[in-house]
Amino acid sequence: WAGDVDSKRSTNAYAFTLNGGAISWMSKRQAVVALSTTKAEYMATTHACKEAIWLKRLCSYIGVKHGIVI
């Protein structure tokens, strides 16, 4: 929360792997200032979950067998 002293914005990051290789990753500052650590984590988790759902659907569509590991 408020990881950047100047802008007061947190940095989000995630990485998804398949068979040991990264298939999607992101690291960037949040667009808005979160008012608490909980809010910052909630926003980051929401973004990562949306990406996970999209990747799962893509893998199913192209026939890639995948396992879910959290």
Cα–Cα dist 65/56, whole Å: 10
68 within some domain? no
Q: How many CB atoms lie within 10 A of CB 10?
A: 20
d(CA 58, CA 68): 14
Burial call 22-40: b when 16+ CB within 10 Å, e when fewer: eeeeeeeebeeebeeeeeb
List pLDDT tens digits, range 5-59: 566 678 888 999 988 899 999 998 887 787 788 888 888 889 999 999 999 899 8
Query: Is-above-0.85 flag for pTM?
Result: no
User: Could you tell me if residue 23 is inside a domain?
Assistant: yes
- If one counts the domains in the chain, the total is 1
In a domain, 70, yes or no: no
Q: Give residue 69's pLDDT.
A: 57
Q: Is the pLDDT of residue 1 over 50?
A: no
pLDDT of residue 53: 93
Under 8 Å between Cβ of 36 and 28: no
